[in-house]
Structure 1
Amino acid sequence: MFKAGIEIHQQLNTKKLFCSCDSDLNDRVLGEFTRVLRPVQSELGEYDAAALMESMKRRTFVYQVTENSCLVEMDEEPPHDVNMEALEVAVLVSLMFNCRIVDEVHFMRKIVIDGSNTTGFQRTALIGMDGYIDTKFGRISIRSVCLEEEAARKIDEKEGIAVYRLDRLGIPLIEITTGPDLKSPQEVKMAAQILGYALRSTKKVRRGLGSIRQDLNISTDGERVEVKGVSRLNLLEKIALYEMERQEMLSSLAEEIKRRNPDLEHIEILDVTDIFRETKSKLIRNGLQKGHRVLGIRVPGFSGLLKSDRYRFGKELAEVVKVIGIPGIFHSDELPNYGIGENEVRLLREKFSTGDNDAFIIIVAEENKGKEALLYVIQRIRKAINGVNPETRGPRDDGTTEFLRPLPGSERMYPETDVPPIRITEEMIERLKGMIPKSYEEAIRDISERYGISMQQAQQILDENREDDFSFFYSIYPDGNVIFRVLFNIIPEIEGEGLDVSSIDSGVLEKIFSALAEGRIVKEAIPYILRDFIANGRIQFDEFKPMDEDELQAIIESVVDENIGDLKSRNVEGALMGILMEKLRGRADGEMVNSILRRVLERRGVSK
């Protein structure tokens, strides 16, 4: 059964969380320094599995210093006092979701050694818990609202060196975590829309790509998979659908493994480099030229499970080794291929002593790194009998996901000793209760009534965070339906034609709506004006000046004379309107054209 929860991470538009630096992104680099990060034991003497896997990459981190970073971001001095403005926003959001507010805020350190934090950890604090929101799908529980610091911005990575910029590090971040109450991919998207609106309604959040991210926690058979860092709302439903299908495949695979009952406890890593001394495979030959070895394993009972119409477990294993820095794997379900010939496959089967139901896997890598990677592959193969593996995955632009690391455990969290506890007073809570904005449903209804548009249109404006733009354009030209058509129909239609609409900003639209309000153009001209602007980089109104009624009457008479004899359609009026609007190219109001056309047809006794 599908069930999911969602985590929303939203940057706040305040100063940074533990210093007074601005939170704007800054591309002016003043200098840089280098660090190497290693995992540490928890207070119970345990290592976090995700941190251990990250450390296997053996990367060096270069940090670029910017004008809006200081010694706090560099981890050269302790954090300053907590930004109280950011803390109050977190309390306000907690109240909006009916949460129980903590008496004292205690910051914790969450181990993160992927380089995104100079300290090797992220500071985070619980603000509210045990809340809820009511939706048309039912009540969704809000498990927690946390306040934490944003990670550094990744700029580049190559050959074991990752470059991060400190401008983003330390920006206040609110994390909202729901319970596993979402029963379909559609509910996942709906929950993200409601939570996103609630955050925006505080008027204290940053806008733009990357300022809000969603993590999905999805389960179909009990184990949880986290999909980390979805930045586009329109991908959520697609990713949820993909994960549902992927997890169902893994559950089916587990049942097949149980049926076959292979011995997976005695898998041995072998060096098979000698088989490929004369290989035609460019991938393997390039590796051998670098001094790499070809290593492999026999996988008992897995023939047809690594790649077939039903199973794609080989893809899962390839993702595991890619994280460690090895491009991929070769396996018997897809060989011969990639320049590996039938004779090499035969020799591999002899070397591994494979039976008819067995598979084999080989990789090309530096010897020690390759053995580490294959140990992870063996571990993952053994876990396959349990079905879905609890792990963290990343989103791809096509709506699929890829393995990132094992799911973090409690071993990654320990107390922050440099930040004293902060008392949440009753006075603060009562003051913030008076600042709670309208609910999602109330906001939709308000937009619909204010601009004279449908509830569906109002919801789209809210979900796509266009209310400020809409309000501004409405103050220039007070016709909500026309503005909606321009923003949500005309511009996307032009983009669908393959044209680049990125230059159509609010300044361009302001001029167009002003011309519309002044009567210099009619609404039908807008698509033509926008296409002309994209092509020529200028806004041209003169050639779209509205025709007077006499000129329009003459053109309509002429078009009727030219086409009336050829029209066989029962809808003569509709057919002629299409011809006229194409000919007029936005120089006449559609209602006026239709009115004159009807009079012309009536005088001629033509049925509509």
Structure 2
Amino acid sequence: MSDKFDYAGLGLKCGLEIHQQLDSRQKLFCRCPTRIRDITESTYEFFRYLRPTASEMGETDRAALEQSKLRRKYIYKGYDSTCLVENDDEPPTGVNQEALDIALGITKLLHMKPVDQVHVMRKIVVDGSNTSGFQRTAFLAKDGHIDTSAGPVGVGVLCLEEEACQKIEDKGDSIIYSLDRLGIPLVEIGTEPDIISPAHAKETAQQIGMLLRSTGKVKRGLGTIRQDVNISIARGARVELKGVQALDMIETIVEREVERQVNLLAIRDELLAKGASACDTIFDVTGVFKGTRSKVIVNALKKGKVLAVLLPGFAGFTGREVQPGRRIGTEFSDRAKTSGVGGIFHTDELPNYGITPEEVTMLREAVGAAEGDAVVMVADLEVRARGAMESVIIRAKEVLEGVPEETRRALPDGNSSYLRPLPGAARMYPETDVPQVEVSADYFNSIETPELLTERAKRFESDYGLHRELSEKIVYSQYLPLFEEMMRRFAENPVVSATLVVRTLTGMLPELKRDGVDVDRLEDCHFMDVFGLVAEGGITKEAIDSILRTIAAEPCMCAKDAAVKLGMDGIDMDLVEKFIDQVIRDRIDFVKEKGPAAVGPLMGIVMAEFRGKVDGKVLSEALKQKINIHSR
């Protein structure tokens, strides 16, 4: 991606927050397994309503206050592996020692200084993602760094905390969560704002990801690692972009947020030059739409009202783009939706949506709009509509100030939408149910520093004779632990080479998946079984593809039974020789003309008949001998 902006000239400040689940056997504050369950396995459910509480200083966090504006019902799905701690019906246990050891190993890789005592805190979260209304987190280390091509990037904080519930369905007035993910240990790693460009942000995230995977103790797969990005430019404001799932999107996310802030600042300057403002009055314009044919408004008026606000000088600006496909009006709509409405209308996009030009004229007259003014309106239940218009007024005033500090949701296309205000210190207070943990110098020194994946790749090249590309493929794949286990088991077997194993895991499996084979049904034991049969000579390496296809369709089947079913469980060499003799007799003139050079063309015919049943080297040698005899 080429740089769209002069990021240094704009005064870009950018930092990352990486959230990575740890692969411990048990959860952080209970002894339940960290296994993700299918929602169909749920054995019970319960619901809660949550509200914000004041901190120990008597302050209430602004983000929690906004999240509580909607009185939503939170429904939780439990399992036979769910305990009372997860239900918030029992105090938590002490910190999981295995998870703490893994986290301290990560601090060493990040060159960080650990705390002397680990104290657990409560972080207020009232979006339903925790049954308790708070998340437990513990500050573990500080003052670290990683090395990048653009110089060192500081790592200011590492926390050990519990994962939140997994959202299953948002029904508007209620949200369904699954409790299987709640409590899985994770580390939160926060860098300093030392990142200087979108490409540098991606490189930094890749480097941290490599260090985390080097431990061999982090979970892999979708949702197990999340990147949040903090961005600001000079004259702008710090914005936290949450939930960047795909590493490849980080560059676009950073670029699009810089673009948004640049555009917001330009729009602010133009509006101020025009003397634009935002009125505090909320107008009831329900009468304007009596007899309207707009389906949205007709449905809303069955129980609600149409309310509007006047924005003097905003005409043409509510429709101004701040990100590709997203406008100032979209920013207004995002804020309005925090009150539960589906969206808003503004005069830069009207007439439209069944609203006629005559209704637009009457709307403007009802609120006293002049030619250069914009009007924003909403149709919904009165309490929702009023809350939505209050939010629009606040956001319009922020437009006149520039860029507001806020937390935004990263969207799949690289844009972002409003999520909530930036949280403050009032969201944190001590957890009194979990005792502190001492981190002595002896304890910290006893934690083994993991081997980096970059170093492991070099070792695989020298130990197993792997090509560099294959070595790098396997160390960064989800099959690294399986590969290492196979190499330990088949170390003395010349048939099961490291190259064969890596090509099967990183090359053959993606091909099978493209062919529609459900490779997710293949477990480590299946691969061990298949390669064990190869090592014994029960099947050839050419049979692996077909055997894996068969087992993926019937996971209860062993490799030997799959070979029998496919007719690949060995073959009489007399039959092989008879087949080769017949092939040569049918092409005797060709064999006599070409001599030994006939081996290549005829090998394809022989392999097509015995692929997977007889080793290719054996077939090649038999064919050479027969051709030598017949070509004399």
TM-score w.r.t. structure 1 length? 0.81
Report deviation, 1:147: 1.7
In structure 2, the partner of 1:568 is none
- Give the Cα–Cα distance (whole angstroms) in 2 for the partners of residues 288 and 191 of structure 1: 52
Matching of residue 430 in structure 1 with residue 439 in structure 2: no
In structure 1, the partner of 2:240 is 226
In structure 2, the partner of 1:17 is 28
Report deviation, 1:395: 3.7
Secondary structure of 1:334's counterpart equals coil
Match of 1:81 among 90, 94, 99: 94
- Give the Cα–Cα distance (whole angstroms) in 2 for the partners of residues 347 and 471 of structure 1: 74
Equivalences for residues 278-317 of structure 1 within 5 A: 278-289=291-302, 291-299=303-311, 300-307=313-320, 312-313=326-327, 314-317=329-332
Match of 1:170 among 167, 175, 183: 183
- Give the Cα–Cα distance (whole angstroms) in 2 for the partners of residues 103 and 441 of structure 1: 31
Match of 1:272 among 244, 267, 285: 285
Q: 1:217 to 1:44 in 2, by over 3 A?
A: same
In structure 1, the partner of 2:59 is 46
Report deviation, 1:346: 3.1
Aligned partners of 1:193 and 1:463 also within 8 Å: no
CA RMSD, Structure 1 to Structure 2 (Å):
4.2
In structure 2, the partner of 1:253 is 264
Report deviation, 1:506: 4.2
Aligned partners of 1:10 and 1:213 also within 8 Å: no
Match of 1:486 among 501, 504, 510: 504
Residue 253 of structure 2 aligns with an amino acid whose one-letter code is: Y
Aligned partners of 1:239 and 1:400 also within 8 Å: no
Q: 1:201 to 1:341 in 2, by over 3 A?
A: same
Q: 1:499 to 1:282 in 2, by over 3 A?
A: farther
Q: 1:532 to 1:172 in 2, by over 3 A?
A: closer
Report deviation, 1:288: 1.9
Q: 1:397 to 1:57 in 2, by over 3 A?
A: same
- CA deviations 1:482-537 (Å, max 9, x no partner) are 43333333433454466654445545545554565566766666666666777899
Q: 1:84 to 1:172 in 2, by over 3 A?
A: same
Q: 1:553 to 1:523 in 2, by over 3 A?
A: farther
- Give the Cα–Cα distance (whole angstroms) in 2 for the partners of residues 138 and 119 of structure 1: 42
- Give the Cα–Cα distance (whole angstroms) in 2 for the partners of residues 38 and 130 of structure 1: 35
Equivalences for residues 86-485 of structure 1 within 5 A: 86-221=99-234, 223-230=237-244, 232=245, 235-261=246-272, 262=274, 263-289=276-302, 291-299=303-311, 300-307=313-320, 312-313=326-327, 314-432=329-447, 435-474=448-487, 475=489, 478-485=496-503
In structure 2, the partner of 1:55 is 68
Report deviation, 1:50: 0.9
Aligned partners of 1:10 and 1:175 also within 8 Å: no
Report deviation, 1:208: 4.6
Between 1:182-191 and 1:35-44, the stretch displaced more is 182-191
Secondary structure of 1:337's counterpart equals coil
Between 1:495-504 and 1:257-266, the stretch displaced more is 495-504
> Which ranges in structure 1 are unaligned for 5 or more consecutive residues?
563-572, 599-608
- CA deviations 1:288-346 (Å, max 9, x no partner) are 22x12122223332415425597732223323333432212222333333222333333
Between 1:103-112 and 1:75-84, the stretch displaced more is 75-84
Aligned partners of 2:84 and 2:90 also within 8 Å: yes
TM-score w.r.t. structure 2 length? 0.78
Aligned partners of 1:4 and 1:180 also within 8 Å: yes
Aligned partners of 1:523 and 1:589 also within 8 Å: yes
Report deviation, 1:363: 1.7
Secondary structure of 2:51's counterpart equals coil
Q: 1:596 to 1:332 in 2, by over 3 A?
A: farther
- Give the Cα–Cα distance (whole angstroms) in 2 for the partners of residues 516 and 349 of structure 1: 79
Q: 1:340 to 1:129 in 2, by over 3 A?
A: same
- Give the Cα–Cα distance (whole angstroms) in 2 for the partners of residues 417 and 456 of structure 1: 51
Secondary structure of 2:509's counterpart equals helix
Aligned partners of 1:130 and 1:144 also within 8 Å: yes
Residue 310 of structure 2 aligns with an amino acid whose one-letter code is: R
Report deviation, 1:256: 2.9
- CA deviations 1:213-257 (Å, max 9, x no partner) are 332323345533223234x4xx12314413422431342232133
Aligned partners of 2:206 and 2:247 also within 8 Å: no
Aligned partners of 1:279 and 1:340 also within 8 Å: yes
Between 1:519-528 and 1:384-393, the stretch displaced more is 519-528
Aligned partners of 2:22 and 2:102 also within 8 Å: no
Aligned partners of 1:129 and 1:143 also within 8 Å: yes
Aligned partners of 2:25 and 2:33 also within 8 Å: yes
Between 1:535-544 and 1:115-124, the stretch displaced more is 535-544
Q: 1:69 to 1:510 in 2, by over 3 A?
A: closer
How many pairs were matched up?
Answer: 586
Aligned partners of 2:470 and 2:503 also within 8 Å: no
Between 1:280-289 and 1:197-206, the stretch displaced more is 197-206
Aligned partners of 2:279 and 2:310 also within 8 Å: no
- Give the Cα–Cα distance (whole angstroms) in 1 for the partners of residues 160 and 434 of structure 2: 13
Q: 1:171 to 1:495 in 2, by over 3 A?
A: closer
Report deviation, 1:468: 1.4
Q: 1:272 to 1:191 in 2, by over 3 A?
A: same
- Give the Cα–Cα distance (whole angstroms) in 1 for the partners of residues 135 and 141 of structure 2: 19
Q: 1:388 to 1:447 in 2, by over 3 A?
A: farther
Report deviation, 1:12: 4.5
- CA deviations 1:126-180 (Å, max 9, x no partner) are 1110011224453222111112222234344435233444444333332222222
- Give the Cα–Cα distance (whole angstroms) in 2 for the partners of residues 241 and 556 of structure 1: 61
Report deviation, 1:472: 4.2
Report deviation, 1:205: 3.9
Aligned partners of 1:11 and 1:150 also within 8 Å: no
Secondary structure of 1:322's counterpart equals helix
Residue 115 of structure 2 aligns with an amino acid whose one-letter code is: V
Between 1:118-127 and 1:164-173, the stretch displaced more is 164-173
- Give the Cα–Cα distance (whole angstroms) in 1 for the partners of residues 585 and 291 of structure 2: 81
Report deviation, 1:56: 0.6
